[in-house]
Amino acid sequence: MNFEQIKEILFRQAVASGLSDYDVYFRMASDASTEALNKELSSSTFGVVGGVSFRCAVNGRIGSASTQCLEEKELTALVARAIANAAVIDADEDPIFFEGSGEAAYRRVEQTNADLPVAAELRRAVMDLQEQLYSASELMTDGTTSAAGAASVTVSLANSKGLSLSHSAGMRYTYAEAIVNDGKEPSFGTAFAPSLDINTDIAKKATEEALARLGAGAVKTGQYDVIFCAKQVRALLGAFAGIFSGKNALLGLSLLAGKEGERVAAECLTVIDDPFYAENTMQMPFDAEGVATREKNLIENGVLKTLLYDLTYAKKAGKQPTGNAARGSIADPVSISPYCLRVAPGEHTEDELLQRLDNGLYITELKGLHAGADAVTGDFSIESSGFLVENGKRTKPVRGFTVAGNFFDLLKAVDGVADHVEMGLPAISGTAAPDILIRGLSVAGE
């Protein structure tokens, strides 16, 4: 069943049930991936998952229900389930269904990678990567993995106000994981590229990373200045993204509450929420409530410019919606989420940033951020590994230590931003960042 047929059944049932405000949110995703291990193909997977959610207003309360079973009987029952679910909600404001931002407001986005590649193309990519990995070092050993894949998603939204929007986006990737063993210990390195191109340097990068980590030593407990590599700045941004939610601010769950217009970070830091970042193939012109999306500075030269809002919390906070209503899946209620959260490039080359650090740590890995970072308090204490920096040069590998601090203090302690921005895997909600220098973090080691 396609979106138009699903919409027709649900709209008909909604009218028959006496509803006047409702929407239908539909998502169809497909993916393909292939993996190789120890020089042989190890697995191939394909998936197609579709689902729909129905939301409606009943006596000023919002009810919703969702299903992956797209048969007429199930769809008809969906409306009754949504109506019943509205009864337990404690409403404090009328639900809002949106008329639309006006056709001109929705950016026309080129829909790249909407079709999945053929399986042979994926197989070729992973086997080629295996060969590149095993020929990159004699120390390469069992567990060395390569993967290639693609995914595409179509999101459609229609409501009782006449809004009807649809958009497709897709991504491709290759991934290399090198495992080396020098007879004393194993070590690993990973790299990815946002394409199926076999002529990237990801096998080389993963191998170099694995080799560079061999023989890592310990770090003495103390205060250190550190550079987080771009990948780990992205990880930190992802872990603390919730602080930018206007809903969290209003509910006392973000310490950025009430600070719009104030300095919250060092002047060299600018953080942008960008649904149309050029490096990201998963772009979205409208949000989960149908509001047109747009690029905006969250932190501009250290000053907090805006938080992120959906329709409900924009109204509660007396602000304009920012087009950041999101649904993690068709089953999830509307929440607030950034698109591509990115740090603007700074003025230093990566080498200049190392010289500016002079002595300290270059952190290449942060682990367990889901547990060791608390967006409500800002506190973090994270298992880390990386390199010592001595006199502006990366020297010995180090591991087995934690880096601890508070994210709100960290924003103010930024003392340099590199000029090269790295994008993570393409995603509707992704991250991009350069290397960043932070002064004065607590390190626990030996």
Site for another protein in 184-203 (CB under 8 A): 185-188
- Determine, following the binding rule CB under 8 A, whether residue 367 of this chain makes contact with another protein: yes
162 lies in the binding site for another protein (CB under 8 A): no
Q: Is 41 in the site for another protein (CB under 8 A)?
A: yes
Indicate the residue among 361 and 418 with the shorter CB distance to another protein.
361
Q: Given the complex with another protein, which of 41 and 109 has the nearer CB atom?
A: 41
Please tell me what DSSP assigns to residue 245.
Answer: B
Q: How far is the CB of 200 from another protein (least distance, A)?
A: 24
- The answer to the question of residue 10 lying near another protein (CB under 8 A) is no
Does position 68 interact with another protein (CB under 8 A)? The reply is yes
List the interface residues with another protein, window 244-283 (CB under 8 A). 251-253, 255
Nearest alpha carbon to residue 54 among 10, 111, 115, 101: 10
Rule CB under 8 A: is residue 95 a binding residue for another protein? Answer: no
Radius of gyration of the chain (CA): 24
Which of 8, 17, 37, 167 contacts another protein by CB under 8 A?
37
Instruction: Identify the residue among 5, 223, 349, 395 touching another protein (CB under 8 A).
Output: 223
Tokens of 41: 């193909």
Residue with tokens 């059944």: 9
Q: In this structure, are residues 38 and 143 in contact, taking their beta carbons and an 8 Å threshold?
A: yes
Shortest Cβ 376–another protein spacing (Å): 5
In the complex, least distance from residue 345 CB atom to another protein, rounded to whole angstroms? 30
Report the alpha-carbon distance of residue 86 to residue 97 in Å, rounded: 15
Q: Is 88 in the site for another protein (CB under 8 A)?
A: yes
Site for another protein in 402-441 (CB under 8 A): 402-404
Quick one: which of 201, 351, 358, 446 contacts another protein (CB under 8 A)?
A: 446
First to last CA, the chain: 61
**Closer residue to another protein, CB minimum distance, 37 or 165:** 37
Quick one: tokens of 174?
């290759």
Of 63 and 338, the one with the shorter C-beta distance to another protein is 63
- For residue 416, the SS3 value is strand
CA nearest 112: which of 52, 170, 189?
170
Contact 416, 266 (CB under 8 A): no
| Residue from 296, 280, 269 nearest 422 by CA | 280
Interaction between residue 215 and another protein (CB under 8 A): no
How big is the site for another protein, counted in residues (CB under 8 A)? 79
Q: Cα separation of 432 and 343, whole Å?
A: 6
Q: Is 48 in the site for another protein (CB under 8 A)?
A: yes
The one among 4, 15, 16, 49 contacting another protein by CB under 8 A:
49
Q: Which stretch binds another protein (CB under 8 A): 165-173, 179-187, 350-358, 410-418?
A: 179-187
Among the listed ranges 95-103, 377-385, 415-423, 424-432, the one in contact with another protein (CB under 8 A) is 377-385
Pick the piece of the chain touching another protein (CB under 8 A) from 82-90, 231-239, 275-283, 292-300.
82-90
Contact between residue 52 and residue 76 where contact means Cβ atoms under 8 Å apart = no
**100 or 440: CB nearest another protein:** 440
- For another protein, which residue of 374, 415, 419, 422 counts as binding (CB under 8 A)? 374
Contact call for residue 214 and another protein (CB under 8 A):
no
Alpha-carbon gap, residue 282 to 294, rounded angstroms: 14
Question: How far is the C-alpha of 376 from the C-alpha of 393, rounded, in Å?
Answer: 36
- Within 283-342, the residues that bind another protein by CB under 8 A are 330-333
Pick 249 or 272: Cβ nearer another protein: 249
- Beta-carbon contacts of 44 under 8 Å, excluding residues fewer than 6 positions away, are 32, 33, 34, 35, 119, 122, 123
- Cα–Cα distances in Å, from 199 out to 129, 136, 174, 195, 196? 9, 14, 11, 10, 9
Our finding on whether 64 is near another protein (CB under 8 A) is yes
**Sign of the alpha-carbon dihedral angle for 131, 137, 138, 141:** negative
Pairing relationship of beta strands 222-228 and 360-367 according to DSSP bridges: parallel
Asked if residues 422 and 348 have their Cβ atoms less than 8 Å apart, the reply is: no
Closest to another protein by CB, 254 vs 270, is 254
Q: How far is the CB of 39 from another protein (least distance, A)?
A: 12
